Structure 1
Amino acid sequence: MNKTLKSILSLVLCVCFVLALSACGKQNNDTTANNTDTNVSNNNVTDDNTDDSADITPEESTAGDSNILVAYFSWSGNTQQVANWISDKTGGELFRIIPEVEYTEDDVFDRAQDELNNGTRPPLSSHIDQEVMEQYDVIFVGFPIWWYDLPMPVWSFLEEYDLSGKTIIPFFTHNGSSSGASSISTVAELCPDSTVLTDDYFTYSGNNVDEAESAVDEWLTELGYNN
């Protein structure tokens, strides 16, 4: 009887030990995931989320009847979604700002910071002919907030063209920098001969961008650009 009891107790202790190891393993995995999320969030590039980056197709620049251009940089698709709504509602022509060497999930955080710190203007793969650019009176410029400022491809775009006399209207997605941090003042500095609407920009959380269409409607109506 004692021998049987000892066997049962040993079996129970083994089962408890295995369950304890399993619980510890799960706790360690959860802690690692939470730490990873925190580290990524602190890099300030998640203002435009990093999902579905490979599914974005660039638009070609074409001359048309509209005097409105909707130019945007988007890595994840959040800013692109807002750009599409603005184009649909204003009749503006879309142009995606694309660096020759596109960002990847492996390099985007460090590369974005290094480019900003070093003032690197990455060359772009798509361009607008100057005579086409001249037809636009209003340019909506869209971007995510990266490292509290414009992504450097947007610097490249704004410095490439003579935008004198044009109205520049910023819009951006973010993950906490709802005021745009330094980005709006940067746009104004890069376009000194343009009218930059520094107080009338559009801002929306990238995490909830699917819900932003009505906010875009209201914003464009207030500006007088909603068809």
Structure 2
Amino acid sequence: MKLKKLLSMILIGAATVSLLAGCGSSTDSGEGNKQQTEQQDETSDKTKDSSEDTDSTQGENTGNTLVVYYSATGNTESVANVIASATGGDLFELEPAEPYTDEDLDWTDDNSRVTKEYEDESLRDVELVSETIENWESYDTVFIGYPIWWGIAAWPVDTFVEANDFTGKTVIPFATSASSGMGDSGDLLAEMAGTGNWQEGERFRSGADESDVEEWVESLNL
């Protein structure tokens, strides 16, 4: 009898120990799952915050620079492309509704189009294919490029400058020429615009080296 009672007590004790161990394991498992869930939530929140910060930064740096240019023979276009690449800016080419031919651009010919326009200012009102730009208000910095004609900016640029409001924009002119400097071209355009914060421009020789253009852009500290 005593033996049966002793065995019964041993079995009850073993069952109790087993139950206690099971409860402890369940509690530890629950706490572990809770900690894991909290860590996952925290990681998710950090990832979300990082994504939002990235989106915000991209939004701030997108489309704030515009490079507008008129190019008669391709030299100004080449410089404009380098500037756009260096700044991450957008490009906009000014295209005369009546394009200039090689004969039109022969300044040594007294009867050529550019010569007649130079001699008669009333002929310099050059119509453009488009003189306005989509989302113009989103650009903070505007580069304006042109070839130098008789010491001033090629007049197709005048049409664009007169048609747009540069209020609140930093405007940086650049020019190309075989030998002539910038002259008063930038100042005359600024006067024509009447608005905007116009900066001192830069003249590049025809066939300018890409490194020279990039060095100039870097010096602007935009």
Range into which the TM-score falls when normalised by the shorter chain: 0.5 to 0.7
**Alignment partner, residue 102 of structure 1:** 99
From 211, 218, 221, the counterpart of 1:221: 218
Equivalent residue letter for 1:71? V
Structure 2, gaps ≥5 residues long: 1-60
**Which structure has the greater CA radius of gyration?**
2
Say what the alpha-carbon RMSD is for the aligned residues: 1.7
**Alignment partner, residue 146 of structure 1:** 149
- What's the secondary structure of 1:134's corresponding residue? helix
In structure 2, how many angstroms separate the alpha carbons of the residues matched to 1:73 and 1:170?
12
Deviation of 1:114 (Å): 2.8
From 113, 121, 144, the counterpart of 2:125: 121
Deviation of 1:89 (Å): 0.7
Q: Note the alpha carbon deviations across 1:12-56, whole angstroms, 9 max, x for none.
A: xxxxxxxxxxxxxxxxxxxxxxxxxxxxxxxxxxxxxxxxxxxxx
- What's the secondary structure of 2:129's corresponding residue? coil
| Maintained 8 Å contact 2:96/2:126 | yes
**Alignment partner, residue 203 of structure 1:** 203
Deviation of 1:68 (Å): 0.6
Structure 1, 189-198 or 71-80: larger mean CA deviation: 189-198
Equivalent residue letter for 2:197? T
What is the 5 A alignment of 1:50-199?
65-108=62-105, 109=107, 110-116=112-118, 117-119=120-122, 120-129=124-133, 132-178=135-181, 180-198=182-200
- What's the secondary structure of 1:121's corresponding residue? coil
Q: Note the alpha carbon deviations across 1:121-176, whole angstroms, 9 max, x for none.
A: 211012434x6111111100000101111111100011111111211101111111
In structure 2, how many angstroms separate the alpha carbons of the residues matched to 1:75 and 1:94?
16
| Maintained 8 Å contact 2:132/2:160 | no
Equivalent residue letter for 2:210? E
| Maintained 8 Å contact 1:148/1:181 | yes
Aligned residues: 155
- What's the secondary structure of 1:145's corresponding residue? strand
Equivalent residue letter for 2:86? K
Provide the identity percentage. 37
